[in-house]
Every structure is written in C-alpha cells, then in structure tokens.
C-alpha cells in the first residue's frame, strides 16, 4: 500500500496559534486535527481522493479556515458554526469537521451547496477520511 503524502502546506502553526483559533471561535478541536494542522497546516494529497481536493490552512496563505468561517458561518450564515470548513471537495463544496460536543464530534461531513442534498457524513474521523491508522503516518 502506498503511503499518502500531504504536499504544499502553509507556514507552520504553533500550539499557541491553535489555542488562539479555538478561543476566537469558542471551539475545541479534536486532537487528531490539531496534530494534522501542526504537522501540515493545510495542503493537498499526492493522489486522487473521492472527496478531497485540498485541506485549508488554519491561518497563513489563501483560503484559510478562518476566512471560510467568516464567509460561510458569520457573513452568509450558510454553515452552522459547529461545523468548521477544513477542506474543499473537487466541486468546491465544503468538507467540514464537526466541533459540536456529542455523537457527531470529530466526524467529517460534506455540505452540498451545488445541489439539493442533505449534508453527508463521509468519515467518522480524519484518519478514516485519509485511510491511515494514525495522523503520524502522514
């Protein structure tokens, strides 16, 4: 099996960057996503994926998670604030991470803004989405 590679991430994040992000938006990020962002801060995968086009960086660079939250959750109110847009689907639909406490916490959900479909859980975890046992494999 070929090991998946994440390429083209933005400037490295610090733990304090992530803590400020969580504080600014009143959320608690799952540990696996925190690890992924400290390691990569966005990027794209080196091969075709059914859902993923690219991961958004938390901050730094273009198309950040912070910008997407401002746009989709605050200004346009098209995405509930309990779902943070972490990646882009090939068709531009947001792939989100649920940060709502409860059974959906940490699940990866796609919202279809280009067609009339309900949001869909595409993976129970970031690891499942990427097909790895641990984020440390990336």
pLDDT tens profile 21-41? 999 999 999 999 999 999 999
Domain range list for the chain: 7-132
Measured distance CA(130)–CA(84) in Å, rounded: 18
Residues 6+ apart with CB under 8 A from 121: 104, 107, 108, 109
Q: 7-132 — its CATH code?
A: 3.40.1580.10
pLDDT band at 78 (very low <50, low <70, confident <90, very high): confident
Specify the pLDDT at position 107.
Answer: 98
pLDDT band at 1 (very low <50, low <70, confident <90, very high): very low
93-105: b or e for each residue (b if 16 or more CB lie within 10 Å)?
bbbbbbbeeeeee
Mean pLDDT in the chain? Answer: 90
């Amino acid at each position: 099996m070929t090991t998946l590679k994440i390429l083209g991430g933005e400037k490295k994040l610090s733990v304090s960057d992530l803590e400020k992000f969580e504080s600014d938006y009143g959320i608690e990020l799952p540990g696996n996503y925190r690890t992924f962002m400290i390691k990569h801060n966005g990027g794209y995968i080196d091969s075709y994926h059914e859902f993923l086009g690219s991961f958004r960086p938390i901050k730094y660079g273009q198309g950040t998670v912070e910008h997407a939250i401002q746009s989709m959750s605050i200004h346009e109110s098209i995405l509930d604030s309990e779902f943070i847009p972490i990646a882009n689907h090939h068709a531009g639909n947001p792939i989100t991470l649920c940060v709502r406490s409860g059974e959906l916490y940490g699940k990866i959900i796609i919202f279809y803004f280009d067609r009339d479909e309900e949001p869909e859980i595409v993976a129970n975890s970031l690891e499942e989405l990427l097909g790895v046992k641990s984020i440390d494999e990336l």
